[in-house]
Amino acid sequence: MDMTATLHDLTVAQLGELMVQMGEPRWRGRQLAHGLYHEGTGDLDAITPLPAALRRRLQQTHGLTRLVEVGRRRAPDGSVKHLFELADGRRIESVAIPMERKRWTFCLSSQVGCRMACAFCATARMGRVRQLTAGEMVAQVLALRRLHPSSQQANLVFMGMGEPLDNIDELEQALRILSDPDGMKIGARHITISTSGLVDGIERLGRMERPWGLAVSITSARQDDRRRLMPVAAQTPLEEIVAAAAAYGRKTRRTVTLECVLIAGENDDDDAAKALIRVASSGPFKINLIPLNPIDGYPGRPPDRDRVARFADRVRKARLVCTVRDSAGREVSAACGQLAQRSRRPE
């Protein structure tokens, strides 16, 4: 595939720079950004404040990142999972989830496939096929805004296919574009990155000095469970991951979410809850429990409701904030990668 940068790969400042290089005034970059991000057009030719000759040149040198919707599935709670085809024919998924007070959350993919090999995840079966470009991450937001016109105020979570911190260069660029006050204007506090625990990536995010939300999918606080359930992430001792997450939380003054996909008989017992409480009490953390979304090819099942409630109760009794992902969300949304499972079946 042609991986040359498109206009969606560039920040507003870089668009201005590009205009200068093309012999145009720098402010044309802001006109371009207005058309791309404020009006959200998917057609360069619709940005009529730009001279037609310039539009033609840009089409030849850069063009826009194209995402074509090739499937969709709506859950009873109103969430909609969209299957998008990229320019090279690869497919990714993004989910639009309606929240309270007319807000939306968009769940975005960061890679095609993933190399982290978590046992309970459908995306893991694909391996890492390729990285998404920054433009492909940005284009997911633009496409979802177009498909859900009432969703201009959406929060973003990088929790779809892929491990975002395994694609940190493109992720950083996407974050700059998405949060650009002259561009897409999405505040850092409205963007959350979910990771299986890549310490270098957490540290790099911290060095951006912006209060991005961070969620770390630890799944269990017991190292044996982690080795079984998330073998690649478990190569780093949990203490190191948790220390990096705590440092990030203190630096950004944000509570970091520790996520656990709960699997019956694997990591849902009292001892697992105790271990989790110990770890979560060591820093600015809250807990999110996600009952497993069963997938083909993995025999695990979610714990029954009572067991999840008991687990959550124990955690709350230790004075930790603990949320449980509800069953409606289970239909289409997901833990990191829990999302991909149905795209490989016929839509």
- Binding stretches for ligand SF4 (CB under 6 A): 114, 116-118, 121, 123-124, 161-163, 196, 335-337
- Residue 34 C-beta: closest distance to ligand SF4, Å: 35
With beta carbons less than 8 A apart as the criterion, state whether 12 and 183 touch: yes
**Alpha-carbon Rg for the chain in angstroms:** 21
Question: What would the 3-class secondary structure string for 65-85 be?
Answer: CCCEEEEEEECCCCCEEEEEE
Residue 336 annotated among the catalytic residues of the structure: yes
The residue (of 113 and 183) whose beta carbon lies closer to ligand SF4 is 113
Q: Which of 278, 295, 290, 285 is nearest to 336 (CA)?
A: 290
Measured from the CB atom, the residue of 135 and 160 that comes closer to ligand SF4 is 160
Q: How far is the CB of 234 from ligand SF4 (least distance, A)?
A: 11
Nearer to ligand SF4, 86 or 295 (CB): 295
Q: Is 331 in the active site?
A: no
What's the gap between Cα 14 and its chain centre? 24
CB of 159 vs ligand SF4, minimal distance in Å? 8
Q: Which helix (H) or strand (E) holds 315?
A: helix 305-317
Question: Measured over all CA atoms, what is the biggest interatomic distance in the chain, rounded to whole angstroms?
Answer: 68
Of residues 124 and 260, the one with the C-beta less far from ligand SF4: 124
Q: Using the 8-state DSSP alphabet, how is residue 196 labeled? A: S
Our CB check for ligand SF4 shows the closer of 29 and 329 to be 329
Least Å from the CB of residue 38 to ligand SF4: 32
Cα 235 to Cα 164, 238, 241, 291, 314: the distances in Å are 18, 9, 11, 24, 28
Identify the active-site residue in 107, 114, 121, 336: 336
DSSP-derived secondary structure letter, 10? S
C-alpha 329/C-alpha 271 separation (Å) is: 27
Looking at 39, 69, 93, 259, which residue is catalytic? Answer: 93
- Shortest reach from residue 144's CB to ligand SF4, in Å: 19
- Going by the DSSP 8-state scheme, the letter that residue 111 receives in this structure is E
Strand partners, 131: 111
Catalytic residues: 93, 336
